[in-house]
Amino acid sequence: MKGLKAKMPKIRMLSSLEKVFAGSEPSGREHYEYSCLKNETLSFQAAVCTDKEEDITVSVLGDLAGFINIYSVEDVPVGLAAFEDSDDYFISREPGEYPDILMPGDTIHALPGKWYAFWFELIPGGAAGNHTVNVSVNGTGAGVSIKIIDAELPAQDLVYTNWFHCDAICDYYGVEAFGDEFRRIFRNFAQTAAAHGMNCILTPLFTPALDTAVGHERTTTQLVKVRKQGDGYSFDLSLLEKWVEICRSLGIEYFEMSHFFTQWGAEHAPKIMAEDENGAVIKIFGWETETHSSEYDGFLTEFSAALKEFIYSHKLENNVFFHISDEPGAEHLETYLYRASLVKKLFGEFRFIDALSDYEFYSRGAVDIPVPSENSIEDFYGRVSPLWTYYCCGQCTGYMPNRFIAMPSERNRILGFLLWKYDLNGFLQWGFNFYNTQYSLDKINPYEVTDAGGHFPAGDSFVVYPGKDGEAVCSLRLKVFREALQDMRALRLLEKLAGREKVLEITGDITFRDYPHDPEYILRVRETVNSVIENKTA
């Protein structure tokens, strides 16, 4: 009607732990006050809704504006939200559109009555003290107070690996493995991983024998060039050298050598390609290579000399981990022990890790550093040092931490408190950028398929999306996971300043199965921790 003034957009200032859905007004508590340490990244959100179709633009003002990145939160389709036997700690167990993508930008096209979210990321660089950030959305404003405490988080001493899948880059972007264009894109993705706490990377000496159906193959991604020479082999490690150089330049300091045997039992060799005497590249090992193959044993023996020389010449001896086979079960113990005996003979001076949840593997000396799943951690806690843990699609019962798209963000972030509480040395998750269906039978577009073709709960297999021009596009789950790592570091700092009992007094006696299911608990604990740190360092 003529003369009526248009309504201004509604705005709700929210923490990073809320997920904003288009069809409903956010029900979580609004937050307008935050604190962080000087070298910490702080995230918060603005949920907005307008009564007409229009472009909505957001801006920030204040002395911290130059340190704030802005993203629009975009939805993705979720087919499989949860397995049938999952617990009830989900936002919903139903298919639908869920917020997950953080797309750099300050403008969205809004439909009337729908809710949208902008994500604000304050990066380190602002001066210690109290600040006000004014958020403006098409003329509607809201102020957020941020205190930057004059103290710094300690360096991350947790080894964190989120398995990097090189074939995803090759397949999605159509580039040759380890060529110039691959390396450009790889650098972008690895830089994103490192910026969010990943300091260890799965290194494909040979195409990883992971998530591959028996008899099938994944796109070849093999850093080691092999040449058959008579009855023996020669090895060119120049691609591995470039890999290490790039990773180190980004702050990735640990290298997981890909598994020497297939997943779930160590029964076969990984796919290994080699150049024959005529210059043709052929497969020399793979599914047809049984675990007891003397030819493969001989190959590994020759290869061990070349790889160890590389490790020592590049001063990597304290920064490498070796694998036998991923997720062996009790029925695989004897085969695993048989294979471990050879590989440990060849590489025994280095550390061996594997994701496994049967304590007998450790007690019988099959593995140096067992990586049990969260639901098995109590069997190892207090009996194994160093101790790691992992989660994958199976950790969806018993309220264990995880980061599926349909889970609330506090279930993702609580892990940081638990990593501190259990004094864990490492954490492993298998899918940084796995863009295949289960067993790698088909490739997916992660913008359209988020559940590995209906086989894994959405979000289990990746935390970044492939962006234009080879850029990695973050999920909000990756940002929240980084907050969990920062929480862990803050608790370790407070423990150093005030003692373990003080930290336990603040966090309470939590376990992997028993902790408050409340975002306000996490936010309240961090504010208390920050306040005590400020007092102790003043």
Residue-wise pLDDT tens digits, 241-295: 999 999 999 999 999 999 999 999 999 999 999 999 999 999 999 999 999 999 9
Q: State the pLDDT confidence band at 538, using cuts at 50, 70 and 90.
A: confident
Report the alpha-carbon distance of residue 427 to residue 445 in Å, rounded: 27
Residue 143 belongs to domain spanning: 10-153
- Taken in order 15, 21, 26, 28, the sign of the CA dihedral is negative
Residue 16 lies in a domain: yes
3-state secondary structure of 193: helix
Q: Could you give the percent of the chain with pLDDT greater than 70?
A: 99
Residue 66 lies in a domain: yes
pTM: 0.97
Q: How many domains does the chain divide into?
A: 1
Q: State the pLDDT confidence band at 1, using cuts at 50, 70 and 90.
A: very low
Residue 98 lies in a domain: yes
The owner of tokens 């609004």 is 30
CA dihedral 470, 475, 480, 485 (to 10 degrees): -30
Token pair of 338 as six digits: 């048989």
Q: State the pLDDT confidence band at 139, using cuts at 50, 70 and 90.
A: confident
Instruction: Sort 503 into a burial class: Cβ within 10 Å, 0-12 / 13-18 / 19+.
Output: buried
Element (H, E) at 486: helix 476-498
Residue 47 lies in a domain: yes
If you average pLDDT over residues 354-383, what whole number do you get? 97
Amino acid at 11: I
Q: State the pLDDT confidence band at 366, using cuts at 50, 70 and 90.
A: very high
Query: Is the pLDDT assigned to residue 322 strictly greater than 50?
Result: yes
Return the CATH number at 62. 2.60.40.10
Residue-wise pLDDT tens digits, 178-234: 999 999 999 999 999 999 999 999 999 999 999 999 999 999 999 999 999 988 999
Report the alpha-carbon distance of residue 47 to residue 302 in Å, rounded: 59
> Of how many residues is the chain composed?
538
Element (H, E) at 118: strand 115-122
Nearest alpha-carbon partner for 192 in 117, 251, 122:
251
Residue-wise pLDDT tens digits, 114-134: 999 999 999 999 999 999 999
**132 C-beta neighbours (distance < 10 Å), count:** 12
Within 8 A by CB and 6+ apart from 344, the residues are: 352
Amino acid at 261: F
If you average pLDDT over residues 64-86, what whole number do you get? 98
Residue 124 lies in a domain: yes
Q: Checking phi first, is residue 11 left (phi over 0); if not, alpha (psi -120 to 50) or beta?
A: beta
Residue 115 lies in a domain: yes
Residue 135 lies in a domain: yes
